[in-house]
Amino acid sequence: MSQSEREIVIPSQYLGECDQFKSGRGTFIENGKIYSQIIGILQRNEKYLNVISLKGKYDAVTGDTVIGIIDAAMSSSWLVNINAPYPALLHVNEVPWRVEFNETDKYLNSGDTIMTVVSSVDMEKKLQVSMKDRNLFKIKGGTIIDVEPSKIPRIIGKKGSMIQLLKKYTQCRIFVGKNGRIWIDGKQDMIGKAIQAIKLIEKESISFGLTDKIEDFLKHNSDLKEV
């Protein structure tokens, strides 16, 4: 993010000419002109004009690690809510256990929470998720909070700087799903503090020097339990 100011744009706002820039995410072209299609923050690269959305549903992309909540157990699969417009399918072949037919509810039931990865998104936006990977598991304990999916990159920070900071000062296990769900496990008061910090990041995600601000916040609130 090299530009000096962050400009908020609204749908149908004129952004630039087609022959100067390429139309990136969140924009569309009409008569050689580029317009924004969503409410968001304008990002001007050398070539591209992107609009990073401020709000909206999670747009599933293959390979994203997400946190899902089981909606229903069917005879050979589960339906998982991953905060996308559509429920995702988790087939019994895609879980790390051997599940007999009609015994899906012995392993995962409606309301259970899982770390999972989006394995396919097709033309009709039919979603499939998989748990066949080492670091995917059923979540037990801890707390899950919801944030805007578009704010996730801010919470992770440059090369994970922000999330490292959170982990360092709160001594919590934190997993961030790309779909805007965050799982935090640790001591109860520390979970509370992590949530406060994340809400602060979400609220001030546009401002600059946020990492330092959050570090101040975390230090200030943990002077007794300084690590």
Partner 1 sequence: MKSDKQLIDETGIRSDGRKPDELRNVIIKAGVLHRADGSCYLEWGGNKVIAAVYGPREAIPRHSQNSLRAIVNARYNMAAFSVDDRKRPGPDRRSREISKVISEALEKVILTDYYPRAAIDVNIEVLNAEAGTRCAGLTAAGVALADAGIPLKDIPVACAAGKIGATEEDGTFTGGHVVLDLGKEEDNFGNADLPIAIAPRTNEILLLQMDGHLSSDEFERALDYAIKGCHDISKLQKEALLKKYNVSEGDE
| Chain positions contacting partner 1, by CB under 8 A | 8, 10-12, 26, 28, 30, 35, 37-40, 53-57, 85-87, 123-125, 203-208
Nearer Cβ to partner 1, position 55 or 173?
A: 55
Name the minimum Å distance from CB 205 to partner 1: 7
Cβ at position 200, least distance to partner 1 in Å: 11
Indicate the residue among 95 and 202 with the shorter CB distance to partner 1. Answer: 202
> Given the complex with partner 1, which of 112 and 204 has the nearer CB atom?
204
Three-state SS sequence of the chain: CCCCCCEEECCCCEEEECCCCEECCCEEEECCEEEECCCEEEEECCCEEEEEECCCCCCCCCCCEEEEEEEEECCCEEEEECCCCCCEEEEHHHCCCCCCCCCHHHCCCCCCEEEEEEEEECCCCCEEEECCCCCCCEECCCEEEECCHHHHHHHHCHHHHHHHHHHHHHCCEEEECCCCEEEEECCHHHHHHHHHHHHHHHHCCCCCCHHHHHHHHHHHHCCCCCC
The residue (of 97 and 206) whose beta carbon lies closer to partner 1 is 206
Tell the smallest beta-carbon distance from residue 135 to partner 1 (Å).
Answer: 29
Closer residue to partner 1 in complex, CB, 126/132 = 126
Least Å distance between CB 43 and partner 1? 15
> Whole-number minimum distance, CB 84 to partner 1, in Å?
9
